[in-house]
Amino acid sequence: MTQHNRLARTGTVVAAAALTSVVLVPGSAHAYSVSSVPAGVVSGGELALDQGRGRLFITDNNAQLQTTGKDFIQSKRPVKPAVAVFDTATNRPVRKIDLSNQPGGLMMIGPLPIIPTAQVPDGIALDSKRGRVLVTNAHASGITVFGTGARRVTPRNLISLPTSHPMGAVANPTTGRFYVGLNGTDKVAVISSGGRLVGEIPNLYKAAFPDVDASRGRLYVGNADYETKKNNFVAVIDLRTNRVIKKIKTPSNSRVKVDPGTGRVWAASYDTGKISIIDPGSLNVVQTINTGTTPAKLAIDSSRRRVYTSNLQKKTITVFNADTGAILATIPTGKAIHTIVVDQATGTVYGTQHIGSRLTIVRPG
């Protein structure tokens, strides 16, 4: 049974062990309830929301070696690649999609593919209109595409791209194509909804996490230069030609999210804590926000004009005004949050707990 905290007068969570708490934002009418439920995974990776069907798809990234965000640790649980399906109406996992029946790949150590590793999913993209899911198996350099109703996959679902280290992915709801950042080969892979590699977009560097502006026919791609951290930008790609039309200088390791209401692009730098806001007309940075945190991923509630960042190392979620960039609240989560999504109908935010088996749920008051 869910336990309840007493209301925090100072706006902080009183007891980290409690499964439900209330966060009150001083000087405002905003309050957020924070709860935690089993996610159906061993280690929460990225997640995607099928809002119309009330389903979350959550990657279980329990690999042999897991990154804490600072270093690698050995997993204590057996590796069983899977995606959990979670019902947002009942707040329970309802099934798993078995991804274990795929040939493994080789993890890169420096420039060399050396360590045999399973196709463990991490990144995810969902095309709810066509009922298709794509996951990226970063360390094994594979991409897996399957239907939302699948129970298991076969080797035919796998696209193997050795040394590519695929990271983030996004679906274009207009065309049904997926776009995957290939960090190891400095490209973006273009994948059909049927699961075929139909093209690659070059002229990038350490491509990481993309997002799409379908109305303007653009793809924005951040880069993750983990080594020198000197060549840092957000690339703007014209999806009519699949060509890079501009590289916008940003702080290192910036992850992008497009505001569907305005087309403005929020690029959050995990390394520096700075957020660059890019105007879609001029394609220039028009505002920089210094958060002082470690923003891993963003989610935008376009109807309520809120932006959320999951701050991995700080174990918080920050709430911003989507129009002004003002910080409205910092919500303690008690656990490191990996990736977040927001339900546009209810404003509820869902976040996977990094190297954890639970799902954090944040509801606005």
Predicted confidence at residue 60, as pLDDT, reads: 96
Predicted confidence at residue 67, as pLDDT, reads: 63
**Which tokens belong to 135?**
């996951």
CATH architecture for segment(s) 55-308: 7 Propeller (2.130)
Smallest Cα–Cα separation from 102: which of 141, 37, 158?
A: 158
Per-residue pLDDT of 18-32, as tens digits, reads: 355 656 554 445 689
Amino acid 227 reads E
Per-residue pLDDT of 156-177, as tens digits, reads: 999 999 999 999 999 999 999 9
Q: What percent of the chain stands above pLDDT 70?
A: 88
Q: Calculate the alpha carbon distances from 112 to 41, 116, 161, 184, 349 in Å.
A: 30, 12, 14, 11, 39
- Give CB contacts under 8 A, 24+ apart, made by 129-134: 129/173, 129/176, 130/176, 130/193, 132/171, 132/176, 132/178, 132/193, 132/195, 133/48, 133/57, 133/83, 133/97, 134/169, 134/171, 134/178, 134/180, 134/191, 134/195
Q: Give pLDDT < 50 ranges for the chain.
A: 1-18, 26-28
Query: Any idea where the domains of the chain sit in the sequence?
Result: 1-38+309-365, 55-308
Q: Which residues of 59-70 are buried (b: 16+ CB within 10 A; e: fewer)?
A: bbbbbbebeeee
Predicted confidence at residue 152, as pLDDT, reads: 98
